[in-house]
Structure 1
Amino acid sequence: MSALQVQSAAGLLLLAALAWALGGFRRGVAIRVILAGIGLQLALAAVLLNVPPVRATFFLLGDAVDALATATRAGTSLVFGYLGGGPLPFAENRPGASFILFFQALPLVLVVGALSAVLYHWGVLPWVVRGMAGVLKRVFGLGGATGFSVAANVFVGMVEAPLMIRAWLARLTRSEMFVVMTAGLATISGNTLVVYALIISPVVPDAAGQLMTASLIAAPASILAALLMLPPADGEIATEGGEGIPEKLYDSSMDALVQGTQDGLNLLLGIMASLIVFVSIVALVNLAIEPLTGLTLQKIAGWVLWPVAWAMGIPVGEAATVASSLGVKMIINEFVSYLELAASGGAGLSDRSRLILTYALCGFTNLGSVGIMVGGMTAMCPERRTDIVKLGLPSLISGTIACCMTGAVVGVLTAP
């Protein structure tokens, strides 16, 4: 094992200790949870990254992403013409100048949203999520509702997963609510996974497989980070009854296709609006403080996160670059961080550091997503509004730690 891999291993433990410290060194954290959280992350990563048949399966995800992108381009070209990827009526003055994010990349959300709804209606996604929920319950002792929500978050977003356990939300303990919220921020949905994979594929080999692996590893990481920061209180009993998955959300495959498309449209518009608003607000704040201090919000966050970048196993000379990207993710969102990674071609980073950063960025840990999640969950469960609002910013911290744990895990298993 190289020195950098040892650094990642030590950093994984330091990140767990950081979560415990930020929670106030609370008592009641079970040793079983710590061992299971770290062990399951390492085991999942080892299997998904190093077992040839599993790796071959994940390589197929890259082909699936290419197929989805090609199919979506056929639709966007018909509707938007050259804006959507059709033949240009003029000469392109520089490579990539004709690429328009909203018309060419984001419409994938519509297609994947529709396909996800159909797969749910056919019973494919419920079958996969049931299996994952069962594993999380046995390993961590989570209640069925909490385990199901965490498992669902590997495939759906931070609002959709809690929506699936809406009937049990009001009965969750405070610790369980925190686990649900942390998992929502530490993972990404299938819709955005496809878009991100398309964006970073030029600089990250097997991008779709890597992002799916990151989202899977983030499930146990988020449970560990959340329970270290807010363990169950003495005498609390895990909420049961969440194993049941709504069997009928749609009347037919066509109904699933239509509703899935509508849900995808809502998400597409939400992504567009969030990008415009949060990038604008951050730019406005930076315009106010940069002339006076020479600093930006991203730089400040990057400085704060420099030790975290080092803890993931990033060499000292590259830690500032990685920390800066993590700062952009937290202040704006991971979408912009991935766009910057693709635009720079990973300049200044080794292949190993680029891979670690890809994993650490894979999650909705940003201020805008906290607002979306808190708003959605309080609408679903108004009687727990106080708890949900109070846990919003702490879940951003725990989710960020969980994402960085996935980066450290990959660092342990990847030689320089």
Structure 2
Amino acid sequence: MAYLIAIVGIIVTLGLGYLLSTDRQGIKFKSIIIMLVSNFFTAWFMFTTTIGKKIIDFFTLAFDKLIEFGTAGVNFVFGGIETTGFVFMFNVLLIIVFFSTLLAIFNYTKILPYTIKLVGGALAKLTGLPKIESFNAVNSIFFGTSEALLAIKTQLDNLDKNRLYVVSASAMNSVAASIIASYMALLPPKYVLAALPLNMFSALIISSLVMPVNVPKDEDVIEIKDGAYGDSFFEAMVDGALDGLKIAGNVAGILIAFIATMGLANYLVAELAGLFGYDTNLQMLIGYLLSPFAFLMGIPASEIVQAGSIMGTKLILNEFVAILDFNTMIPDLTEKTIGIISVFLISFANFSTVGQISGTLKALSAKQAKVASGFSVRLLIGATLTSMLSATIAGLFI
């Protein structure tokens, strides 16, 4: 029965994307079917095959070892500070500095740009999508929202509205490689890793439904800015470390503000509800509102309100706040719910990211920023449908 509900959930998700479409006649259903099959195959391969599980285990061990090295650096600087238990700043945020440095090194040595171009070209051939959209989808796996758009800045002005929507959607449904380790410290690593390729395909599927692209072959060219750090290896390391420190600081500030604000909102709603004899808060109300969607994603009925509240927290605030809330619930939830919600959480699909995309485009192209403002609501809804699609497909094989 759970599988049937999940299949219905996938159909509903795709149907909502179709209803949201601005050009239903232009939808390339062949490409969408190819990407959907690719997503099913990816989830099946990673969660059920011996080779897939070994690959996940390999990358999990690799990340664990890298986290150990990052922790050694943190301990050298802050080792004299006595702490009790898990400290988010030391165990999560400051590890971002090391991973940002590694990313800068891979970028400077051209290993990452060439890999992205190679995989992006293969994706274009597989799906039939244009090269820029395919490259950006792969690039977005490794870089944050702003950095992903920055890589194609020389061609932004050449993109029509539909193509701009697709690249923005890929950027929004990505996560920065520099903070993947932070997610893995709070969620089961296998679901964090699985979400990366699943979101790549899902973002292209949903955006191709909402705003399908059609590019003549003679116009399907790509010029990519490598975005290498610094003029030397050591300068790249320094730049990467400073970027990582900036990211960690930004995340810390946002978490302080958002968690405090959510606590205030929960308190006010609880006090107001108490006046009428009800025991509830804002997150519980959001949970009830989104519980039907959680049910369609394949989550057991007894856990859909909890799942819905986490989904709403991510949408309204951000994924880090939601992950911290969800982390406390994990011991009391089934493995299926843990897997589905974990995959759902691994993206930047929330209100604040829409603003970030607008700000980035404004800095790169005022003309395209104005265009993007016209589809901001569609972008947020499409990004949420993307997270739902990835999570539902993953749940079929958990």
1:220 corresponds in structure 2 to 201
Contact persistence 2:152–2:223 (CA under 8 A): no
Aligned residue runs from structure 1 range 170-189, under 5 A: 170-189=157-176
Q: 1:383 aligns with which of 367, 383, 391?
A: 367
Q: Which moved more, 1:42-51 or 1:394-403?
A: 42-51
Query: Does the 8 Å contact 1:149/1:161 carry over to 2?
Result: yes
Q: Distance in 2 between matches of 1:340 and 1:277?
A: 15
Residue 355 of structure 2 is matched in structure 1 by: 371
Supply the AA of the counterpart residue of 1:274: I
- Indicate whether 1:357 and 2:351 are aligned: no
* Counterpart for residue 405 of structure 1: 389
| 1:127 shift after superposition | 2.9
Residues 1:370 and 1:296: Cα distance change in structure 2 (over 3 Å): farther
1:130 Cα offset (Å): 1.6
Partner of residue 116, structure 2: 129
Closer, same or farther: CA 137–5 of 1 in aligned 2, 3 Å: same
Contact 2:287 2:304 in 1 (8 A): no
Flag the 1:304–1:266 CA change in 2: closer, same or farther, 3 A: same
CA separation in 2, counterparts of 1:400 and 1:248? 32
For 2:118 and 2:4, the matched residues in 1 are separated by 33
Q: 1:300 & 1:33 partners in 2: Cα distance?
A: 38
* Structure 1 stretches lacking a partner, 5+ long: none
SS in 1 for 2:145: coil
1:278 is the counterpart of 2:258: yes
Q: Note if 1:32 corresponds to 2:16.
A: no
Query: How many angstroms apart in 2 are the aligned matches of 1:29 and 1:250?
Result: 42
Q: For residues 77-108 of structure 1, give each alpha carbon's deviation from its aligned partner in whole angstroms, at most 9, with x where no partner exists.
A: 2222354xxx65xxx5xxx3xx3312331011
Summarize the Cα distance change of 1:297–1:128 in structure 2 as closer, same or farther, 3 Å threshold: farther
Moved more, 311-320 or 338-347: 338-347
CA shift digits 1:207-248 (9 cap, x unpaired):
1x431221111111001111212223xx76586332645275
Please tell me the residue identity of whatever aligns with 2:209.
L
Matched, 1:107 2:94: yes
CA contact (8 A) 2:133 2:163 kept: yes
Deviation at 1:341, TM superposition (A): 2.4
Task: Give the Å deviation of 1:170.
Answer: 1.4
- Equivalent residue runs for 1:147-186 within 5 Å: 147-186=134-173
> Structure 1 residue 48 and structure 2 residue 35: aligned?
no
Alignment: residue pair count = 392
Partner of 2:272: 292
User: Structure 1 CA distance, aligned partners of 2:116 and 2:355?
Assistant: 26
Q: 2:300 aligns with which of 293, 315, 328?
A: 315
Letter in 2 for 1:265: L
1:262–1:270 distance in 2 versus 1, CA, 3 Å: same
CA gap of 1:245–1:278, structure 2 versus 1, over 3 A, is: same
Distance of 2:162 and 2:286 partners within structure 1: 27
Q: Which amino acid aligns with 1:163?
A: L
CA drift of 1:405 comes to 0.7
The residue correspondences of 1:238-249 to structure 2 (distance < 5 A) are: 240-242=220-222, 244=224, 246=226, 248-249=228-229
Which string of whole-angstrom CA distances, capped at 9 and with x for unpartnered residues, describes residues 237-275 of structure 1? Answer: 586332645275532221211111122122112212222
* 1:271 maps to amino acid: V
Of 230, 246, 254, the residue aligned with 2:211 is: 230
In structure 1, distance between residues paired with 2:41 and 2:288: 32
Whole-Å separation in 1 of the counterparts to 2:345 and 2:255: 16
Q: Secondary structure at the match of 1:274?
A: helix
Match of 1:196? Answer: 183
Counterpart Cα distance in 2 of 1:71 and 1:369 = 31
* Cα deviation, residue 337, structure 1: 1.9
Which amino acid in the other structure matches residue 302 of structure 2? G
User: Does residue 315 of structure 2 align to residue 330 of structure 1?
Assistant: yes
2:173–2:387 Cα contact (<8 Å) kept: yes
With over 3 angstroms needed to count, the CA separation of the structure-2 counterparts of 1:25 and 1:161, relative to structure 1, is closer
Work out the CA distance in 1 between the residues paired with 2:23 and 2:165. 16
Counterpart residue identity of residue 136, structure 1: L
CA shift in 2, pair 1:248/1:113, >3 Å: closer
Q: In 2 relative to 1, CA 340–281 (structure 1 residues): closer, same or farther, beyond 3 Å?
A: closer
1:258 matched to 2:238 = yes
> How many angstroms apart in 1 are the aligned matches of 2:283 and 2:22?
27
Q: Which runs of 5+ in 2 are unaligned?
A: none
1:157 and 1:81 map into 2 onto residues whose CA distance is 30
Match of 1:305 in 2: 290
Alignment partners' CA distance in 1, 2:80 and 2:229? 37
Is the 1:299–1:324 contact (alpha carbons within 8 Å) kept by the matching residues of 2?
A: yes
Quick one: structure 1 residues 33 and 304, their matched pair in 2 at CA, closer, same or farther if it must change by over 3 Å? Answer: farther
Give the letter for the 1:374 counterpart: S
Alpha-carbon distance in 1 for matches of 2:21, 2:258: 28
The answer on whether the counterparts of 2:108 and 2:229 sit within 8 Å (CA) in structure 1 is: yes
Q: Is the 8 A contact 1:306 1:320 kept in 2?
A: yes
> Partners of 1:145 and 1:373 in 2: how far apart?
17
Question: Is the CA contact (8 Å cut-off) linking 2:199 and 2:386 kept in structure 1?
Answer: yes
| Distance in 2 between residues matched to 1:241 and 1:249, nearest whole Å | 25
Contact 1:6 1:412 in 2 (8 A): no
Instruction: Note closer, same or farther for the CA distance 1:148–1:27 as it changes in structure 2 (3 Å cut).
Output: same
TM-score with structure 2 length normalisation? 0.91
Cα displacement (A) at 1:287 = 4.5
